[in-house]
Amino acid sequence: MTQGLFAGGRGRVLVFCWLGWVFDFYDLILFSFLKHGIAEELGLPLDGAVAWIEGWSLLATAVGGFAFGRVADRVGRRQAMVWSIVVFSAGALWTGFADGFWSLLLARVVTGLGVGGEWGIGHAVVADYWGGRQRDRVHGILQAGSPVAMAAAAAVAFFVAPLEGVGWRAVFLGSAALGAFALCGRWAMPGPDRGVAAAAPVAARQLFAAEHRRVSVVLLGVLVLHMAGFWCVYAELPVRLIREHQVDPARIGWFQIQINSVHVFADVLFGFLAARLGRVRVFVAFCLVFAVGQALVLTALDGVRQDFSTFTLAIAAMGLGAGTWSCFGALFGQHYPAALRATAAALFYAVARGIQLPTKPAIGAAMAAADSFAPALWVGIACALGSGALILALPRPRAAA
């Protein structure tokens, strides 16, 4: 089934893209896991200043997504990937030295600028090197880097940072060292940049020209809903369980590692099922599983301190449904030409993140008022069901890509 999947240097390509995405997402999610301690040390309100800092960093990913996406399509995938890693590593370094609201805000904005391009560029590269059913499988493997990153961030945040003499600053300084990985970009991808060599440059406004308008609107809409579900539920869950539901941080760390193991399986499984049954059909099914998983979490929420094992099983169902993220890279590869592919993927993915700027403080205020994580789960359920319904409006591609 996978014969020739990684032949001709393509294995090296996938490893570089995969590691770049892992390091990228690790740094972004690490802040979400450590923000409680950061807020306490810097004297910043978690549901006020810190929520806005996180929101502005997500908005910065939209700017970075557009900038690095255009570099990838106009100059080269390799150069864009290397510089995006350098920029988000510089942001991590700055975060480690932050001493107040403005320095932390600027550090996280720089981080967001670098983070914005990585996902779209990596998936554009996969679409350049793989086609047909192989593309779905490889997109699933690449997307599985996100739960690996979340598990690594949880392990560092809940087991390493609390150690005496470590702390959150040292953790971010260590994250900045990953910038050295960018040097590998010079040799990781064999031959010329396929996407750049394939066609003449295409203006970014073509994303909303008649040929691509409906696809762009639908994909952006689905991504916005998916991002809202992720940043309101998945990314907030660890801190809120500690704060609103008084769960021991060590239990949260192990729970994150276990649940993200399920998510890795879900991402890879989605790719193989999509190759056999169709992307949209499998996407809708996984959205339903994700909504059901969140409903189960909602029912187990009140008793989480007394019965954490039942709660963990409910979260596992939610993690299985999160495999939907593996669909997007393949859809961008199928619906857009090579000369526009990285721009579309990086921009839309990052814009969907950036739109979360107002939702972060709003959901934070709702949870603080309810003294519970329940409001975020209701938002997540609605987003999952909305995503599954909206993607059915996606037009069929004119030709197989």
Write the pLDDT tens digit of every residue in 236-285.
777 777 777 777 777 777 777 877 888 888 888 888 898 888 889 999 99
Predicted pLDDT of residue 184: 64
- Residue 355 vs residue 132, higher pLDDT: 355
Contact 81, 20 (CB under 8 A): yes
| Residue 400's pLDDT band (cuts 50, 70, 90) | very low
What percent of the chain has a predicted confidence (pLDDT) above 90? 17
Residue that the structure tokens 């060292």 belong to: 177
CA distance 211 to 10: 31
Contact 294, 381 (CB under 8 A): yes
Residue that the structure tokens 């941080």 belong to: 249
Predicted pLDDT of residue 13: 80
What percent of the chain has a predicted confidence (pLDDT) above 70? 91
Predicted pLDDT of residue 393: 93
CA distance 82 to 328: 22
| Residue 115's pLDDT band (cuts 50, 70, 90) | confident
Residue that the structure tokens 């099983």 belong to: 313
Tell me: pLDDT of 96 over 60.
yes
Q: In degrees to the nearest 10, what's the CA dihedral of 52, 54, 58, 63?
A: 70
Predicted pLDDT of residue 224: 92
Which residues are within 8 A (CB) of 153 and not within 5 positions of it... i.e. 6 or more apart? 26, 29, 30, 33
Contact 158, 256 (CB under 8 A): yes
Predicted pLDDT of residue 191: 58
Q: Which of 159, 160, 195 is nearest to 70 (CA)?
A: 195
- Copy the structure tokens of residue 153: 């961030």
| Residue 193's pLDDT band (cuts 50, 70, 90) | low
> How large is the average pLDDT for residues 106-127?
85
Predicted pLDDT of residue 396: 78
- Copy the structure tokens of residue 256: 């994150």
Domain residue ranges in the chain: 10-185+204-393
Q: Evaluate the CA torsion angle 62, 334, 392, 205 in order and state its sign.
A: positive
Tell me: pLDDT of 299 over 80.
yes
| Residue 172's pLDDT band (cuts 50, 70, 90) | very high
Which amino acid appears at position 317 of this protein? Answer: A
Rg of the Cα atoms in the chain: 20
Longest dimension (CA), the chain: 61
> How large is the average pLDDT for residues 163-180?
84
- Residue 177 vs residue 287, higher pLDDT: 287
Which residues are within 8 A (CB) of 116 and not within 5 positions of it... i.e. 6 or more apart? 60, 61, 62, 63, 64, 65, 66, 67, 68, 84, 346, 350, 353
CATH number belonging to domain 10-185+204-393: 1.20.1250.20
Which stretches within 246-373 are classed as H helix? Answer: 249-277, 279-300, 308-321, 326-335, 338-354, 359-370
- Copy the structure tokens of residue 97: 């030295």
Task: Give burial (CB, 10 Å; 0-12/13-18/19+) of 337.
Answer: middle
| Residue 388's pLDDT band (cuts 50, 70, 90) | very high
pTM for this model (two decimals): 0.75
Which residues are within 8 A (CB) of 183 and not within 5 positions of it... i.e. 6 or more apart? 82
Contact 104, 331 (CB under 8 A): no
The mean pLDDT of the chain is 82
Tell me: pLDDT of 1 over 60.
no
Tell me: pLDDT of 287 over 60.
yes
Q: In degrees to the nearest 10, what's the CA dihedral of 384, 385, 386, 389?
A: 120
Residue 309's CB: how many other CB atoms inside 10 A? 9
Contact 390, 218 (CB under 8 A): yes
CA distance 22 to 211: 33
Q: What is the pLDDT of residues 324-371, one digit of tens each?
A: 888 888 888 888 887 788 888 888 887 887 787 788 778 878 887 888
In this predicted structure, which of 114-123, 193-202, 383-392 has the lowest mean pLDDT? Answer: 193-202
